[in-house]
């Protein structure tokens, strides 16, 4: 099951089974806060990186264990809409399960009609909008040279009018880069022109691969939420309880998950169903074997591959 990871505890989606349809790391952007490291090659070209048949077979096999999963979520090693079989995958999964399907996308390809159409059958789409001013978009998202803020916003606008499902828009704030009052005011104005069901403020909680980028404090996030208004919410801590333990004792699946998402000990305990002591033992062993590394952000320690 090379393309599945988790279920990971997601602050927005509960227990989310990650479906990764893009080779690491292929993206349209090179965000300063990315947990996966720099984008070696920026691209806007959609390709059949992984086939719909492969993904449907992997999910079918995994569901036989009947794990607790709240969402099947396309995300992982890059931008999922770069896979041009995405629409077929979503339709195929709908035939084998009633678990809702989410797509976490940076939204940058929504200016392309085919990318918008591929998302039509998803239950929830979670696009991002971190900046609307050209220079701030460049500073935070470092896009492919043929992308700019206007093109991205236009795609998002068209999508929000055509798509019948739920749109949860994320704004990721990085201290000193896209959190000025002026930029937050402009983001508010653009969001007002879109049809979105939720606006979710996030900050660099998980350790970015590059040094020198910092999260906003809780108070700063609250002040930003005041400026954006529109009932935007600050994404809360994960409080979804424990999974049925699909990852328990499965070192390979734990490593596949940590490859795509740095997690705290508490997160790992939640997805494995192990208690904290057992989790500490497993992670200590993986640290000794140099299979995982530890990184501190604020007062939290994260483990990644
Ligand atoms: S869009 Fe996502 S995967 Fe791509 S660079 Fe930004 S954070 Fe990383």
Q: What is the pLDDT of residues 101-153, one digit of tens each?
A: 999 999 999 999 999 999 999 999 999 999 999 999 999 999 999 999 999 99
- DSSP state letters, 13-60: TEEEEEE--S-TTEES---TT-TT---SEE----B-SS-HHHHHHHHH
pLDDT at 177 over 60: yes
pTM: 0.84
Which residue in this structure is represented by tokens 């040094």? 211
Domain 4-240 shares a fold with domain 243-305: no
Q: What is the tens place of the pLDDT at every residue in 70-111?
A: 999 999 889 999 999 999 999 999 999 999 999 999 999 999
Any idea where the domains of the chain sit in the sequence? 4-240, 243-305
CA of 37 to the centre of ligand 1 (A): 9
Question: Which of the 8 DSSP states describes residue 55?
Answer: H
Can you name the CATH fold of 4-240? TIM Barrel (3.20.20)
Residue 269 is predicted with a pLDDT of 79
Kindly report the average pLDDT of the chain as a whole number. 88
Can you name the CATH fold of 243-305? Arc Repressor Mutant, subunit A (1.10.10)
CA of 106 to the centre of ligand 1 (A): 7
CA of 260 to the centre of ligand 1 (A): 11
Residues ≥6 apart with Cβ < 8 Å to 237: 11
**Taking CB atoms and a 6 Å cutoff, what residues make up the pocket around ligand 1?**
27, 29-31, 34, 36, 39, 78-79, 106
Helix/strand/coil for 87? helix
CA of 76 to the centre of ligand 1 (A): 9
Query: Which residue CA neighbors atom 1 of ligand 1 most closely?
Result: 106
Return the ligand 1 atom nearest residue 108 CA: 1
Q: What is the tens place of the pLDDT at every residue in 242-270?
A: 554 555 556 777 787 888 888 888 888 77
């Amino acid at each position: 099951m090379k393309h599945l990871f988790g279920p990971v505890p997601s602050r927005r989606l509960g227990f989310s089974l990650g479906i990764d349809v893009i080779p690491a790391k292929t993206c349209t952007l090179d965000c300063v806060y990315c947990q996966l490291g720099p984008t070696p090659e920026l691209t806007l070209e959609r390709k059949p990186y992984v086939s719909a048949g492969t993904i449907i077979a992997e999910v079918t096999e995994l569901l036989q264990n009947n794990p607790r999963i709240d969402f099947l979520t396309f995300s992982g090693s890059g931008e999922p809409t770069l896979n041009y079989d995405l629409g077929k995958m979503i339709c195929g999964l709908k035939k084998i399960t009633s678990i809702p399907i989410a797509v976490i996308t940076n939204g940058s390809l929504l200016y392309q009609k085919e990318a918008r159409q591929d998302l039509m059958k998803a239950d929830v789409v979670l696009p991002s909008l971190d900046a609307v001013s050209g220079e701030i978009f460049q500073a935070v998202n470092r896009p492919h040279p043929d992308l700019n803020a206007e093109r991205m916003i236009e795609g998002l606008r068209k999508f929000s009018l055509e798509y019948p499902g739920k749109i949860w828009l994320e704004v990721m704030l990085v201290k000193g880069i896209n959190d000025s009052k002026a930029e937050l005011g402009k983001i508010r104005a653009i969001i007002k022109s879109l049809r979105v069901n939720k606006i979710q403020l996030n900050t660099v909680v998980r350790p970015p691969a590059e040094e020198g980028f910092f999260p906003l404090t809780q108070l700063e996030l609250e002040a930003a939420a005041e400026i954006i208004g529109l009932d935007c919410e600050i994404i809360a801590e994960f409080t979804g309880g424990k999974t049925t333990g699909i990852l328990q004792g499965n070192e390979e699946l734990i490593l596949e998950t940590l490859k795509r998402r740095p997690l705290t000990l508490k997160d790992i305990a939640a997805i494995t169903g192990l208690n904290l002591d057992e989790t500490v033992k497993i992670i200590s062993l993986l640290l000794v074997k140099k299979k995982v590394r530890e990184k501190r952000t604020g007062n939290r320690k994260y483990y990644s591959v």
